[in-house]
Amino acid sequence: MTNTERDPERDAAPVPPADAEPDAGHARSRDWGWTRLETPVGPLLLATTREGLAEVVFHADSPTTRRALSRLEQFFGSAPRPEIPHLETAAAELTAYFAGGLRVFAVPLDWSLTSGFNARVLRALADGVPYGSVVGYQDLADRVGEPGSARAVGAAMGSNPLPVVVPCHRVVASDGGIGGFNGGLETKRQLLALEGVLPSPLF
């Protein structure tokens, strides 16, 4: 592992929705909704807008959920609403993924919680690193035309608002290590094992 690749996600915090800027053309106040989904890697909080899935939050216990909802209310400028499109689709697709029955997500994505370099890297990841494959931080930097930015790629992975669906767990270190992960290294191992990249845990 090179110095530029050493745990590049370790110090990266998830992008705070309250500090992000919406995509151009979106009004500040937007309709959104949320649900919590039980999965083999723990509860996930899913937040969607009328455009698509906007955020996936790992380890969504009650305190984490309260903090996430507070940030989302501030970012979207409104309280959550019932019957927002895409929530059922996102929950159904993630359930199928964790059951081993889905390899490509079709739920629309709302990219408004990321921007700039991070958004470019995450879009390249979503479009170019399929189920069951991995990519190095440096390789991903090369793909977006920024060969000196392996560490910045790690920070982009750490700020990913759409983990699992935008598969930052598939970004690994060049020496064969699995690298960092904001959902925790055990969660990353579970996701890679599910996709056949790592052996399944013995227990």
The per-residue pLDDT string of the chain (203 residues; one tens digit each, 9 = 90 and over) reads: 333 334 444 444 444 443 444 444 444 689 999 999 999 999 999 999 999 999 999 999 999 999 999 999 999 999 999 989 999 999 999 999 999 999 999 999 999 999 999 999 999 999 999 999 999 999 999 999 999 999 999 999 999 999 999 999 999 988 878 888 999 999 999 999 999 998 876 43
Nearest one of 132, 106, 111, 136 to 122, comparing CA atoms: 111
Please tell me the predicted confidence (pLDDT) of residue 186. Answer: 95
Separation of CA 12 from chain center: 13
Residue 20, Ramachandran bin (φ over 0: left; ψ between -120 and 50: alpha; else beta): beta
CB distance 106 to 86 below 8 Å: no
Please tell me the predicted confidence (pLDDT) of residue 22. Answer: 44
Beta-carbon contacts of 7 under 8 Å, excluding residues fewer than 6 positions away, are: 154, 179, 180
Rounded to the nearest 10°, the torsion over CA 44, 194, 169, 93 is -50
> What distances in angstroms separate CA 20 from CA 16, 80, 125, 135, 189, one per listed residue?
7, 18, 20, 27, 29
Give the Cβ contact number of residue 89 at 10 Å: 16
Q: Could you say which DSSP state residue 11 is in? A: T
Q: What is the pTM of this model?
A: 0.85
Q: Is 163 exposed, middle or buried (0-12, 13-18, 19+ CB in 10 A)?
A: buried
Please tell me the predicted confidence (pLDDT) of residue 175. Answer: 80
Choosing from 121, 153, 165, 168, the catalytic residue is 168
Please tell me the predicted confidence (pLDDT) of residue 1. Answer: 37
CA torsion through residues 144, 149, 154, 160, sign? negative
Reply yes or no on whether 168 is catalytic: yes
Encoded amino acid at 2, one letter:
T
Please tell me the predicted confidence (pLDDT) of residue 28. Answer: 65
Separation of CA 127 from chain center: 14
Q: At residue 136, what are phi and psi to the nearest 5 degrees? A: -85, 160
